[in-house]
Amino acid sequence: MAFCSFSKDCDGNSYVTVENKFITKYLPEADGFAVKVYLYGLYLCKNADSDFGLKSMAEVLKTTEEKIAEAFAFWEDYDLVEVISKSPFAVQYLPVKSALGRPKKVRYEQYADFNKELQRKMQRVGKFVSSGDYLKYMRFLEENAMQPQALLLIAEYCINKQGDGVSPSYIFNKAKKLIRGGALTYEQVERELSAYNAHEGDLIAVFAALGLSGAHQRTPDESEYSLYRKWTETLVFSKESVLAAAKGLKRGTMNILDITLEDLYERGLKESKEISEFLQTREGMANLAFRVGRKLGVKVSNPTPYIEEYIEKWCGFGFEDAALLDIALFCLKNGRGSFDEMHAVVEKLAGRGAVTKESVKAFLQEKNDDLKLFAKIQEVCGSIRKTAANLALVKTWREWGFSEDMILEAARRSCSSASPIPYMNKILSEWKETNVFELKNIPSSVSSRSTFITNAAVDAANAKAERERYYALLREKAQTRADKYLAKANGNARFKEISVELSKMEIALAKAEVFEPKNLPALTEKKQSLLTERKGILLALGIDENDLTPRFSCGKCSDTGFLPSGAACGCYKG
């Protein structure tokens, strides 16, 4: 009875034909994986669809695309296949009967000792070197000028690192990096690997300082060794300084530590003691940035930019943390809830020398008192804007020696005025000149000066400001309405695409008018088609085309009060 035979149920459509010559001549020289790739590729020649590629084959065979490509390269040396494209990867099978090629001849006897020692090293971790793998190692040595003993040293290093997970590709990658660095002999490789081994303990200590999980169990990878060599050789940090920086971070990654060490290098901080002190100070600033942010109502995700832009400067002024937190709360309450606006207040206080908690508290108390008094004036006089100029007048009246009662009395006498604040200032100025600082001393008869009608220039300026505010509000209302409809329209993906296309179309039309007039009809037709489609989308959304642009109350001046010629519009009341 035959060792292998087809059952009676087999037919020509249920199997793949393999030429006998492949089985007798080539299969014995290849490892199992290469044969598996060849056979599956042969199957795909008849059965795969156009979407099946290198990635799909790797998934089916539970391997990597790189290994499959290597296997096909092996068969290409025999002239059994031809790799006709590498991107996308494509292979064409050639007839076995006409194959003449052979892989590059390797002098097997030259590497007998190498192969024997490699097998011994691999067996220590339960690995077996196949004939195919032997061929890869020998080809590597043939194609590179590395000594066999040097490659064995690299293999032993990789075995110690990876254990039973070690692979030829891992060993070759390590060897290639050393070759690029000029390490080709046993002595050169030994020197490089000893440097790796020397730094391993240092890196594990860095991992622990950074709080990386499994720090004592894991071994550093190539990128981490490269970073460490950069820190100690290029930036010339001592291992104690690197560790001090890692401890200062407490939590982080190797990349964050790299950024930190580069920053320390630029600042000229090299010694471990000064690094520790700097990072401790930096940590305090980071905490302060978070606390100030909470007081201001600002979410601080990354404190670094806030430290560099604000906190360092504020601490440089000599402000205490508690004082800065009080300022932040004051800013939030007064509508200045940003670091920029707080910075303006801090600079003003620094200019006065008020940096302690007590001096800042006294200043803010004064400011709060002025704000409270101004609020009472607003209750008496109606809507008066809380501007810096108006608040400065309140401060001035207090400095003149007027009590809150006297200031509010002046407000009551000014409430019917078109410009209450200037009128209040006039009344209080008269009382100051006549030495009237108590309610009981206010004259019962109104002097001719008390009938003062506010300065015409002041009235005119205030009136102008009110008109400008009126028009600004009108324009803002119209723009907000248009923005609302535009946002709704842009919610439709096709509408957004058309808007982009129309924008590009204008440029194309302008170029065509000058350089290619013959293209104008086609471009114009396409533009009209896009406009029609756009109009249909807007109609479906219940939006009129005019809704996408501001609808101003006055079509002549667009709610500015002035015509394009510069003349006042009919709607402008001067």
Q: At what angle do helices 254-266 and 222-229 cross, to 10 degrees?
A: 10
- Summarize pLDDT for 407-453 with one digit per residue, the tens: 888 888 888 777 788 888 888 888 888 888 888 888 775 443 444 44
**Residues ≥6 apart with Cβ < 8 Å to 208:** 215, 216
Q: Within its chain, how far is the Cα of 333 from the centroid?
A: 32
Say which residues have a Cβ less than 8 Å from residue 263's Cβ, sequence separation at least 6. none
Q: Residue written as tokens 């009395």?
A: 409
In this predicted structure, what is the pLDDT of residue 446? 47
Q: Can you read off the two tokens belonging to residue 215?
A: 């720090």
Indicate the helix (H) or strand (E) that contains 92: strand 89-93
Give the pLDDT of residue 454: 44
- Residues making up the chain, counted from first to last: 574
3-state secondary structure at position 340:
helix
CA-to-CA distance for 421 and 6, rounded, in angstroms? 109
Q: Which of 551, 558, 552, 557 is nearest to 569 (CA)?
A: 557
Residue 533 has what pLDDT?
A: 92
DSSP sequence for 129-187: --HHHHHHHHHHHHHS---HHHHHHHHHHHHHHHGGG--HHHHHHHHHHHHHTT--SHH
DSSP-based three-state secondary structure for 84: strand
Q: What SS3 state is found at 568? A: strand
Contact indicator for 57, 36 with CB cutoff of 8 Å: no
498 contacts 534 by C-beta, under 8 angstroms: yes
Among candidate residues 485, 487, 381, the one with its CA nearest the CA of residue 425: 381
The one-letter amino acid code at 459 reads D
Q: For 6-47, what is each residue's pLDDT tens digit?
A: 555 555 556 788 888 888 888 887 888 889 999 998 888 877
Residue given tokens 């519009």 in the structure block = 569
Distance CA 311, CA 343 (A): 9
CA 440/CA 443 separation, integer angstroms = 8
pLDDT digits (tens, 9 = 90+) for 328-341: 888 887 777 888 88
pLDDT of res. 536: 92
According to the model, what pLDDT value does residue 7 have?
A: 58
Nearest to 241 by CA among 197, 209, 285: 209
Helix (H, G, I), strand (E, B) or coil at 382: coil
Mutual angle of helices 65-77 and 32-47, in 10-degree steps: 90
Distance of CA 61 to the CA centre of its chain: 38
Contact 222, 162 (CB under 8 A): no
Identify any residues that bridge with 568 across adjacent strands, giving them in sequence order.
562
Task: Report pLDDT for 8.
Answer: 59
pLDDT of residue 439: 87
Distance (Å, rounded) from C-alpha 99 to C-alpha 119?
A: 33
The SS3 call for residue 562 is: strand
User: Can you give the pLDDT of all 574 residues of the chain as single tens digits?
Assistant: 445 545 555 555 567 888 888 888 888 878 888 899 999 988 888 776 667 888 888 998 999 988 898 888 888 878 888 888 888 888 888 888 877 666 555 566 678 888 889 999 999 888 888 877 888 888 888 778 889 999 999 898 888 878 888 888 889 988 988 888 788 898 988 888 776 766 777 788 888 888 776 555 566 776 777 788 888 888 888 888 888 888 888 777 888 888 888 888 888 988 989 988 888 888 888 899 999 999 888 888 888 888 888 998 888 888 888 889 988 888 887 777 888 888 888 888 888 787 888 888 887 777 777 778 888 888 888 777 777 677 778 888 888 888 888 888 888 888 877 778 888 888 888 888 888 888 888 877 544 344 444 445 455 555 665 666 677 777 778 888 888 888 888 888 898 888 878 877 877 777 777 677 888 888 889 989 999 998 999 998 888 888 888 888 888 888 877 777 767 788 876 5
Name residue 385's amino acid.
R
Q: Within 13 Å and on the Cβ side, how many CA atoms surround 382? A: 8
**How high is the pLDDT of residue 39?**
92
Q: 239: closest CA among 193, 190, 288, 204?
A: 204
Give the DSSP H or E segment for 462.
helix 456-490
C-alpha distances in Å from residue 410, one per residue of 19, 54, 174, 441? 112, 89, 87, 13
